[in-house]
Amino acid sequence: MVKKKAIAIARERIDILIRMALDTASENVSDAESYVKLAWRIAEKFNIRGKTILRRYFRCSKCKNFLIPGYSCRIRILKKRGLGVICMKCGKLKIIPIFNEEIISRTARLKAGIGS
């Protein structure tokens, strides 16, 4: 029970840190990076699901640079391939598949569920 509470608190803190990082990125990129680093450390310690989001959107797999959309990475929509996240430091392109048929059918099912 204690661990469940700790994980809930950790999740909340990760959310707050990511929001703070996105807010302060326009003024101070190094501060934003430190917030993301802290969020990453919390996620690592408690081994929680938020880690996937952090890995996908806030960390380069090649140079381990912390990516903040619009400041240290560019996000593009690639035709038929998905979202492209390009690291501005090393130029690594990471593709996140969003045009997957499974995902599209799942969202269609969700919409049908909301409509009925």
Interacting residues toward Zn ion by CB under 5 A: 60, 62-63, 65, 87, 89-90, 92
> Smallest distance from the beta carbon of 26 to Zn ion, in angstroms?
21
> Between residues 10 and 73, which has the closer beta carbon with respect to Zn ion?
73
Quick check: 87 and 72 in contact, CB under 8 A?
yes
Identify which of 34, 55, 28, 33 has the alpha carbon closest to the alpha carbon of residue 44: 55
> Between residues 11 and 56, which has the closer beta carbon with respect to Zn ion?
56
Contacts of 2 by beta carbon, 8 Å cutoff, 6+ apart: none
> Smallest distance from the beta carbon of 98 to Zn ion, in angstroms?
21
